[in-house]
Structure 1
Amino acid sequence: MTELDKKINQHFGGKVVRKDLTKLVKGNAIVPTYVLEYLLGQYCATDDEETIYQGVETVKNIISKHFVHRDEAQMIKSTVREKGTHRIIDKIAVKLNDRKDQYEASFANLGLNKIPIGDSVIKEHKKLLSSGVWCILSLAYYPSDEKDASPWIIENIKPIQVSNVDIDEYKDIRKKFSKEEWIDLLMQSIGLNPKEFTLRSKLLQLTRLVPFVENNYNLIELGPKGTGKSHIYSEMSPHGILISGGEVSKAKLFVNNSSGEIGLVGYWDVVAYDEFAGKTKKSDRGLVDIMKNYMANKSFSRGTQVYGASASMVFVGNTDHSVPHMIKHSNLFDALPKDYYDTAFLDRMHAYVPGWEVQKLRNEMFSSDYGFIVDYLAEILKGLRKDDKTNEYAKYFKLSDSITTRDKTSIAKTFAGLLKVIYPHGELNEQEAKELLDFSIENRKRVKQQLQKMDETFEEVDFSYERISDGKRTVIETLEVLEYGVPATKKTLISDESSVKSEGKNVAEDVPFELEGGQKIIRDNQKGISYDMLLGAYLIGATDIKIIDPYVRLPYQLRNFMEFAKLVTEKKEPGVEVKLHLVTNNNEDYVENAKEAFEQMAYSLEALGILFSYEFDENIHDRSIIMNNDWKIILGRGLDIWQKTGAGTILTNMCKNNDCAKHVK
């Protein structure tokens, strides 16, 4: 086990499971992850290999004997009839038969309908009255001579979900984990390998959990196929339901006027619409109007009565075009059906998750480490819905006065949701709060930018904020605008500790003709970045270059260094020799390979007019490039900007050697 796995088992023993076990037992069973992990949690919530092996076999046996496959329904019915009673796992939905004044259950896979079920069961498990809940139950068969009497009897039934979680204990244990450890634990809990994701990519994944932890939260995610947009809403919680966008009606979603039955928003914490996009899809305009009112006011009415609910709404779908195409020719809501392509409806979205940034899922992106049993996590998130954290950001920051009330509400709800997911104990410092606030603002600004393109009556909004401690102002821009932003007559490069605002077509075009000191910040997942764009202009005229970077040892880091050396050869004058000296650190695992690589580099670069030398210094920490043309470049993360899945924002400061204090932050 990894050190994190050991720590997880130490503090959350019995509440975690190894994530590769789910795939091991699932087989051909079409059953949600939370059902399988509920069973694994009963038998495999341990780090003892023998117990895990026995538990996996037990769960496999339970699935084999008791899970109802549709094509084996008749065989299961026969087994119940012959044995008199039999335990099964199936999805159960219940309706009231008002003619007989009794509740009746239907079985999704077994195919049985109108099976009587006791009132007491419904009082205890009201969600059975919705579109269906996975359950473990004992089904009996007693033939009767009475007319219209059903021989099928539900003897006992238990919805598959963890009960009696201790939220205070969860919050207290959170204090024992660092931010990075906790984020990785959550990533492993949703089945993903955190080593394959940047910090920003992790936040994109965890934002999908916000609807489960925040009441009345409206989220939209559009992007290419195969990125797992709908997976969390169908597999990760018994409190969320995923429905096809084309299968929704006013009665099913809100209230049935004929029967008075409350729809899905009354029973579920999250209602997610799959395959929401598609210009040709038909939709009910009346439904859109009711949804607009509910998403804005948390209430809905049909007829004379007004109802309230707390269900969050999620909309996921596929885009038709690339991001550059949409930005240039239309907008990022371009793929939506006609009736949902409505600025009033879209303005209700608290956040737009850029699905095009989410990588398509590959085998190595799935976790085989320990994470929470998803049903345990689901119950924790449900309990955290009661906490109100919407004003927590105001301890450190003040939003711009030009930001509208709806924008502020959206930003605050995203911030609160992420805080409850990542910092449930409520302890975070100013920098950690800034990370969440920047991300929250960007996801709301993405909505507002598109609305302004769709309807000119939406005014320009200054999405900035001030830090209360010193009054420093930060401007937030969306990543796609930094990469593909529309052309402007005046190109600027405005940056602070974590944001770059560019009015030009691309950040790469914003290098001034006359070099000035300043700071360039490259965001996680930002495309179109090169050493030439960042550093090239500052290398001109330098004949003595010293690079200090403690991490030039792994194969990809050595390749990065050669890319930089190649740039030096391109920027130097023909016939001029340039001294290139590297000061780095190493350890016994990599030092021999590094020495061999450096010797080969020295031989290759000499023919190009580069005199390369190197030294090892175990005491260096800061990373920089010092040149004899009076420029010094302070590197935030060194040359390591193209690693496989690196995390963190990359800072690059350019300043004159004798004037660094003004520019280094």
Structure 2
Amino acid sequence: MSETDRGAPIADVPVQSELDRKINRQFPGVVVRKDLVKAVKGNAIVPSYVLEYLLGQYAASDDEATIQAGIDTVRKILADHYVHRNQSELVKSTIRERGRHRIIDKVTATLNEKDDVYQAEFANLGIKGVLVEPTTIKEHPKLLVGGVWCICDIEYFHRDDERAAPWILGSIKPIQLSNFDFEGYLAARREFTSDEWIDLLVQSIGFDPELFGRRAKLIQLVRLIPFVERNYNLVELGPKGTGKSHIFSEFSPHGMLISGGEVTVPKLFVNNANGRLGLVGYWDVVAFDEFAGKKKRTDKALVDIMKNYMANKTFSRGVETLGAEASMVFVGNTSHTVPYMLKNSDLFDELPESYHDSAYLDRLHHYIPGWEVDTIRGEMFSNGYGFVVDYIAEVLKSMRSLDYSDRYQQHFTLSSDISTRDRDGIHKTFSGLMKILYPHGEATPEEIMEILRFAIEGRKRVKDQILRIDSTMADVKFGYFDKAGTWCPVSTLEEDEYPAHYYPESRKNDDAEDVVSERRAGGLEPVGELDAERESDCIAPPTLFAGHREFQENQRGVSFDTLIVPYLSGAAQITITDPYVRQFHQARNLMELIAGLAVTKDAADEVNVKLITSEDAESEDRVRRQREFLLKVKQGAAIAGINLDVSFDAVIHDRSIVTDTGWRINLGRGLDIFQFVTDDVFDLATKRQEYRQVKAFGVTYVREGSVTSHQ
């Protein structure tokens, strides 16, 4: 065994943040440092919740000595009891020689009708026919459907009967929390702000919240709704490598992930030959991986049963009608960009033909836009503290019977135009997010509005695509009224980005005009300044205007060349005020703005750019690097006849660009509007800003004087 396996100390112990300290104070014993899973996993092919279950027993602390001792204990438990497939014969020999041995393995049970006994199969140990007492099956029925990771005592007793297996199941304990204090959970939740709580949940999933915007965090948390909401139907389609199936395979002992190609009526619902229930009868969540694929063969009978179950929560076993609570999740990969799908088909285009059906799709409550989720990278994983996943899994399970769907109604009213099925989808998503984010029921009107809009958007994405498939479906205006009676429209992000492609031809002109007028009414667009051409490309106006614009988090198609550079044309003096031009990516943003200015100005002209920023006071080293970055920008700009002068002001807060031609541009976030971009030269987003996702920001254009030649 290597030194690492024996318990070498964890290198580079992370410095605890204030949030980490607060998490440990409020939830002692049920949180764990998330980087420890990788430290103990090694080459064990075991779900994260199994490892975190063990870490929660021995390393749920913020004391480094306790953590290290706990890691050593967990490593020893794994070394002594976890069964690696390539060592199964050695483990079987150990059981034989000792007579009894404890193992960690995935156990599946079946009924042997011929002998009228239950028999277990151990996935890694590779043994079958192990007798299981009926009482064990009654206590743990999931053994019959998909199997459960367990800690088991196995005995060996050889008999002369060749048909009898020598293995005996002595005891079995599924790896999941047995009980918890829900009132204590709610009391502790009250000690966190909304932002802190969301970051705790994101860390619990395993990601570093610092690398995610607010919208990106909510998208991640929507993946948890099937665990907290009964009979919730969720779909996520998007590019490969975005972690679509991770939650459903690693996060909870109450979820089952199966390949879309392995789905059958007996496996999913009921085997009419023997009356045995399928997965939906025992699991809280059944997720279908690799669900997309136009050419995939599908069982029409399965589709029909699934449609009925998704709508009515029931299915038939012969003449008997049965109900179940399992939520259904469908995840799959897309092979085309969003504008391509909108132009040529719809956002469900990748689904198998039998599922590309309006009646089936109308049962879906929410569509996660997987194309907004960033590809998983190593630096995205957290080394902060989060809930031990079997703890939060039990918390979510305990709230499945609660209904928070009416919690918005004291502040907002859904449009009467929204149908019953649309309303159900919105309500279930809203209820799920309320239970996840505000289980104590205490949320401000602004916080409630945020998740209500998010819930409406997810259902609107479903309905708008159905309208492309089935023109007989009634059109719907998605939105809500506030208490003052003001109409607040809701649009999808891709609707705002690609309106020229979003609407079917039969509705394009009317609906595009509706979007413009609704967004103006909601204060999202400047009145009287947008024309049809601007709306068609949703990037920038062909002529300059004064007004305010808002951009949503994760939106693409935005660049300095369309957002700012046209307003700098003809200016000889430009003043940029931005206190945060400190880090590499912020200096790169400044250089990219200068590059845009360089290619549009007359080569014979010189332009003076004054940057007013503030020093990175965190350390002398960071100040030195900041000055080096800005010096390089200055040197690069000089080549194009742009003279950059930098001054530092420790008290500035506002962010703006002012020109001597009379324009003032107020930038809510300054130049730092883009999300993380790699330095990979083969990544298109590295080269072109319009392929990057932006942070949520606003920009206001103000005419302070006469504007000359470019008007």
Q: Give TM-score scaled by structure 1 length.
A: 0.91
1:2 to 16, 25, 35: 16
2:276 aligns to what SS in structure 1?
Answer: coil
- Do residues 650 (structure 1) and 697 (structure 2) align? yes
SS where residue 618 of structure 1 aligns?
coil
Secondary structure in structure 2 of the residue aligned to 1:550: coil
1:357-396 CA-to-partner distances (Å, cap 9, x unmatched) read 2222222122222221111111111112122111223333
Would the aligned equivalents of 1:624 and 1:632 in 2 still touch at CA under 8 Å? yes
Secondary structure of 1:371's counterpart equals strand
Choose from 662, 667, 671 the match for 1:635.
667
* Equivalent in the alignment of 1:105: 120
Q: Which amino acid aligns with 1:21?
A: L
1:161 to 172, 176, 200: 176
Deviation of 1:655 (Å):
3.3
Residue deviations 1:402-431 (CA, integer Å, cap 9, x gap): 222211211221122122222222222222
Does the C-alpha gap of structure 1 residues 225 and 145 become closer, same or farther in structure 2, counting only changes over 3 Å?
A: same
Residue identity in the other structure for 2:124: N
- Distance (Å, rounded) in 1 between the aligned partners of 2:165 and 2:644: 87
Letter in 2 for 1:84: G
> What's the secondary structure of 1:9's corresponding residue?
helix
Asked whether the 8 Å contact 1:483–1:528 carries over to 2, the reply is no
Quote the residue 1:559 is aligned against: 588
CA spacing shift, 1:629–1:465, aligned 2, 3 Å? farther
Q: Structure 1 residues 148 and 549, CA, compared in 2 at 3 Å: closer, same or farther? A: same
Distance 1:596 1:31, change over 3 A: closer
Moved more, 333-342 or 111-120: 111-120
Structure 1 Cα separation of the partners of residues 532 and 303 of structure 2? 35
Aligned with 1:398 (options 413, 418, 421): 413
- Tell me the secondary structure at the aligned position of residue 270 of structure 2: coil
- Inter-partner Cα distance in structure 2 for 1:513 and 1:276: 42
Contact 1:486 1:503 in 2 (8 A): no
> Could you say what secondary structure the match of 2:131 adopts?
strand
| Greater mean deviation of Cα atoms: 459-468 or 445-454 | 459-468
Q: Contact 2:231 / 2:327 at 8 angstroms: preserved in 1?
A: yes
| Aligned amino acid, residue 560 of structure 1 | N
Opposite residue 581 of structure 2, the aligned amino acid is V
Matched, 1:281 2:313: no
| Distance (whole Å) between structure 2 residues aligned to residue 58 and residue 470 of structure 1 | 61
Structure 1 residues without counterparts, runs of 5 or longer: 659-665
Deviation at residue 532 of structure 1 after TM alignment: 2.4
Distance 1:540 1:296, change over 3 A: same
Q: What is residue 35 of structure 2 aligned with on the other side? A: 20
Q: Report deviation, 1:194.
A: 2.2
SS at match of 2:564: helix
Paired letter, 1:131 = G
CA contact (8 A) 1:221 1:317 kept: yes
Check the 8 A contact 2:227/2:400 in 1, yes or no.
Answer: yes
| 1:500-511 equivalent positions in 2, closer than 5 A | 511=540
- Given that 2:616 and 2:626 are in contact with CA atoms closer than 8 Å, whether structure 1 keeps it comes out as no
1:33 equivalent in alignment to 2:48: yes
- Confirm or deny: 8 A CA contact 1:199 1:647 kept in the other structure: no
Taking the aligned partners of 2:552 and 2:305, their CA distance within structure 1 comes to: 39
Give the match for residue 465 of structure 1: 480
Question: Out of 140, 158, 166, which is 1:151 matched to?
Answer: 166
State the TM-score, normalizing by the size of structure 2: 0.85
Supply the distance in 1 between the matched residues of 2:673 and 2:254 (Cα, whole angstroms).
Answer: 40
Following TM superposition, by how much is the alpha carbon of 1:563 offset from its aligned partner in structure 2, in angstroms? 2.9
Matched residue, 2:708: none
Q: What is the identity, as a one-letter code, of the residue corresponding to 2:558? A: I
Query: Percent identical across equivalent pairs?
Result: 51
Q: Does 1:618 align with 2:655?
A: no
Q: Which amino acid aligns with 1:644?
A: F
Equivalent residues of 1:578, 1:611 under 8 A apart? yes
Aligned length: 659
Return the match for 1:428 from 443, 449, 466: 443
Q: Does residue 250 of structure 2 align to residue 235 of structure 1?
A: yes
Aligned pair 1:328/2:360, yes or no?
Answer: no
Deviation sequence 1:467-491 (CA, Å, 0-9, x none)? 3246152331333651474186678
Q: In the alignment, residue 264 of structure 2 is paired with which amino acid?
A: S
Secondary structure of 1:634's match? strand
Of 55, 67, 89, the match for 1:74 = 89
Alignment partner for residue 88 of structure 1, among 79, 87, 103? 103
> What's 1:523 paired with?
552
Closer, same or farther: CA 121–596 of 1 in aligned 2, 3 Å: closer
- Of the candidates 343, 359, 364, which is equivalent to residue 379 of structure 2? 364
Q: Secondary structure at the match of 1:225?
A: coil
Corresponding position of 1:662: none
**CA separation of 1:573/1:341 partners in 2, compared to 1, >3 Å: closer, same or farther?**
same
Single out whichever of 139-148 and 184-193 deviates more from structure 2: 139-148
Q: Counterparts of 1:62-461 in structure 2 under 5 Å?
A: 62-144=77-159, 149-461=164-476
Q: 1:143 to 1:436 in 2, by over 3 A?
A: same
The 8 Å contact of residues 226 and 329 in structure 2, kept in 1 or not, is answered as yes
Aligned AA (2:56): G
Aligned AA (1:371): G
The answer to whether the 8 A contact 1:327-1:484 is kept is no
Secondary structure in structure 2 of the residue aligned to 1:2? coil
Q: What amino acid sits opposite 2:648 in the alignment?
A: F
Secondary structure of 1:113 counterpart: strand
SS of match in other structure, 2:578: strand
In structure 1, distance between residues paired with 2:190 and 2:488: 31
Mean CA deviation greater in 567-576 or 245-254 = 567-576
Counterparts of 2:435 and 2:243, CA distance in 1: 23
Question: Counterparts of 1:310 and 1:74 in 2: how far apart (Å)?
Answer: 40
Deviation of 1:321 (Å): 2.5
Q: Which amino acid in 2 is paired with 1:220?
A: V
Q: What's the offset of the Cα at 1:271?
A: 0.2
TM superposition shift of 1:573 = 6.8
- 8 Å contact kept, 1:482–1:506: no
Residues 457 and 490 of structure 2 are in contact (CA less than 8 Å); yes or no, is this contact kept in structure 1?
no
CA contact (8 A) 1:324 1:484 kept: no
Aligned AA for 1:321?
A: H
- Label 1:498 to 1:100 Cα distance change in 2 as closer, same or farther (>3 A): farther
Q: Considering only aligned residues, what root-mean-square deviation do their CA atoms show, in Å?
A: 3.0
1:222-263 superposed Cα distances (whole Å, 9 cap, x missing partner) = 122222211111111100001111212212111222222221
Give the 3 Å change call, closer, same or farther, for CA 395–627 of structure 1 in structure 2: farther
Q: CA deviation at 1:296?
A: 0.8
